Amino acid sequence: MKIIKDFALILALLISTINSSMAELVKAEATTFKNTVHAMQLCESGSSLTNCVNPVTIGNSTAGKTMDLSVRGSAHSFGNAGLIPSGITFTHGQVILSRTFTISGTVVTSSATCKTGGTAGTKSAGGATNNAAVAAQVLMVPNSEDMTTSMNSTSAIVDGTDADPANVEAAHDFVKFRWVLSKPLTVKPGQIPTMTMTFDLSEALEFNDNSDEGGGDGACDGNNFYPGAPAITNTFE
């Protein structure tokens, strides 16, 4: 039996501190929202948003599993509840993801309607906002020393070198996200828990018009598209 788990839960922690001096920030619905998840872990009591204590891996794949959260149920099959040891209390979760997302959508700013599908984002820049028609576009979590402390980059899926909390390093291709479980989880012998969740993609595409880059007017003329954060609700049964 597979544990019902959606990596979008972690993406809710992707805070929009990518550009610190934005003239305009607009969030919009993502009609496509794809990412590749490589590992899902549970963290023992004593963990925090900056540290996963004694992580137990309940899903792992070098190739990863690509999930499109805009397709209902597409992310509900990564992780094996049978791997959760009994008698241990878990308070946090951690997931290892690719830094690369594929997103599509439209953002209406104060002066224009900007569409995804242009030049891809990179580790050092957002995606172009000037495409004529909506299409899928590659966007990346950018290099930063000022992300939320619940995330950091890492050099490898297994036994990688981690950046400090809130740091995303240029040499790293993966990111770790940590979150607090809706309630502590202690599995009894013979028990197979499930997690149900709902997610809202209405703000999962972000337009960040940074005045330091010559923007500030809401025009579709810069590299201003970034991954946004789905709103997530999760419960255990």
Instruction: List C-alpha distances in Å: 15 to 86, 151, 177, 228.
Output: 34, 10, 11, 8
User: Residues 32-48: pLDDT tens digits?
Assistant: 988 888 988 899 999 99
- When divided into structural domains, the chain yields a total of 1
Tokens encoding 154: 């890492």
CB neighbours of residue 184 within 10 Å: 12
Q: Is residue 218 part of a domain?
A: yes
Predicted local confidence at residue 137, as pLDDT: 98
Beta-bridge mates of residue 128: 223
Q: Over range 46-72, report the average pLDDT.
A: 87
Predicted local confidence at residue 216, as pLDDT: 72
Q: Is residue 101 part of a domain?
A: yes
Which of 12-16, 32-36, 161-165 is predicted least confidently? 12-16
Predicted local confidence at residue 6, as pLDDT: 42
Predicted local confidence at residue 203, as pLDDT: 80
User: Residues 136-156: pLDDT tens digits?
Assistant: 999 998 898 988 888 899 999
The whole-angstrom separation of Cα 230 and Cα 220 is 23
Q: Give residue 236's pLDDT band: very low, low, confident or very high (50, 70, 90).
A: low
Q: What own/partner pairs with CB < 8 Å and gap ≥ 24 does 153-157 have?
A: 153/99, 154/96, 157/38, 157/39, 157/60, 157/62, 157/96
Tokens encoding 198: 């709902």
The whole-angstrom separation of Cα 145 and Cα 231 is 24
Predicted local confidence at residue 44, as pLDDT: 98
User: Residues 111-125: pLDDT tens digits?
Assistant: 999 999 999 999 999
Which of 16-20, 155-159, 162-166 is predicted least confidently? 16-20
Q: Find the length of the chain.
A: 237
The whole-angstrom separation of Cα 164 and Cα 149 is 9
Helix (H) or strand (E) holding 10: helix 8-11
20 pLDDT above the threshold of 80: no
The whole-angstrom separation of Cα 98 and Cα 155 is 11
108 compared with 74, residue with greater pLDDT:
108
Q: Is residue 90 part of a domain?
A: yes
Q: Is residue 199 part of a domain?
A: yes
The whole-angstrom separation of Cα 139 and Cα 122 is 7
Q: Are 62 and 157 in contact (CB under 8 A)?
A: yes
Q: Over range 107-113, report the average pLDDT.
A: 93
Predicted local confidence at residue 23, as pLDDT: 62
Q: Is residue 217 part of a domain?
A: yes
Print the domain residue range for 190: 8-236
Q: Give residue 106's pLDDT band: very low, low, confident or very high (50, 70, 90).
A: very high
Q: Is residue 2 part of a domain?
A: no
Nearest to 23 by CA among 207, 203, 202, 205: 207
Q: Is residue 1 part of a domain?
A: no
Predicted local confidence at residue 212, as pLDDT: 46
Predicted local confidence at residue 155, as pLDDT: 97
Q: Are 180 and 11 in contact (CB under 8 A)?
A: no
Predicted local confidence at residue 81, as pLDDT: 76
162 pLDDT above the threshold of 80: yes
Nearest to 107 by CA among 224, 234, 229, 233: 224
Tokens encoding 66: 């690509």
Q: Is residue 174 part of a domain?
A: yes
